Structure 1
Amino acid sequence: MTSVLRHHRYGRALGAGAMTVALLSGGTAGAFAATSTPSPKATMSAGMPTKKPMPTHMATGKPMPTRTATAMGSITVSTAHKTVRHGETVAFAGRVKGIKSGATLVLQHRTKGKWTTLRSMTTVNRNGTFTIRRAFTAKGTETVRVATKDGRIMSSPLTVKVS
């Protein structure tokens, strides 16, 4: 019997099932002996994830593509100058993925807990890069990000200190 359990697929499955039952029943008996109330019975469907059917197109019957964060696109941005003087121009350069060339990008800054769109904007180049220039007149720390004009895709925020 040991060679059947070791060398055949069904034998291995049977052996693994027998070991699982032995371990589970031993654990249940110990738990039952420790408490006076019986534990609930386990079912096969409890905790098992169910696979949802993929949505299909009504006319063609083909599966519809799912929309994920990577399918929507991304924007990465950086600047060479994290600290600038009052009135000095800062260049924000970056790259986009999943956004067509010619799309409009805007610069936003955080004011009183809300993102406000500034008048600085640019378009995406053919190779997926962009550059936005902005001169900051208010002294202090500016938190900025680059977003698409419709606001669906945005970059991670950057901090620029204006002195």
Structure 2
Amino acid sequence: MTSVLRHRYGRVLGSGILCAALLSGGTAGAFAASPSPTDNGSASPTGDKSPTGTASPSPTGKTSITVTAGKSSVKAGDMVTFTGRTKGLKVGSPLVLQHEKNGKWTALKATAKVKTGNSYALAAKLNTKGDEHLRVASVTKEGKVFSPTVTVKVN
């Protein structure tokens, strides 16, 4: 029993260190522009993704969200941590992870709030096998802001 607890604490500590390292890496992730009034909520205009799961930069606006997936490939049912930074959003602003399903963006149960330093981290369990297209969204009275899309392969 003690051995199991040590392994669990080790995993939690390791994932915490990984999150801290990713967040302290600066704004190496991509930036997303706030959508134009004619935007219908579709994916980022660039749609480009690097092999590591970080989206490529798109033009920046007043507000933006970056996102990086902790893993680019997982087994069905595994947790994936998403980290990033925001620009132009107030501390405490709500963020939600969305995935594209049948051409529409739907919210998952993974939520977070913008922390001091404009960073965030959220975790989601991905159950549907195949390529999951994900983004982080913020909907405030000032408007909607979406991160670029990242892809995680679920086996």
- The TM-score normalised by the length of structure 1 is 0.55
Q: Determine if the alignment matches structure 1 residue 70 to structure 2 residue 54.
A: no
Alignment-mate amino acid for residue 102 of structure 2: K
- 1 or 2, which has the higher strand percentage? 2
Separation in 2, partners of 1:100, 1:117: 21
Corresponding residue for residue 113 of structure 2? 123
Separation in 2, partners of 1:107, 1:134: 8
Separation in 2, partners of 1:98, 1:113: 28
What RMSD over aligned residues (CA atoms) do the two structures have, in Å? Answer: 1.3
Q: Gapped runs of 5+ residues in structure 2?
A: 1-59
Q: Gapped runs of 5+ residues in structure 1?
A: 1-68
1:112 to 91, 102, 105: 102
**Moved segments of 4+, more than 4 Å:** none
Deviation per CA, 1:101-157: give whole Å up to 9, x if none.
100000000001111111110000011000010011111110000000347100000
User: For the pair shown, which has the larger CA radius of gyration, 1 or 2?
Assistant: 1
The percentage of counterpart residues that share the same residue type is 39
Q: Determine if the alignment matches structure 1 residue 159 to structure 2 residue 141.
A: no
Query: Would you say how many aligned residue pairs link Structure 1 and Structure 2?
Result: 94
Taking CA–CA contacts closer than 8 Å with sequence separation of 6 or more, which of the two structures ends up with the larger relative contact order?
2
Alignment-mate amino acid for residue 70 of structure 1: G
Separation in 2, partners of 1:149, 1:162: 27
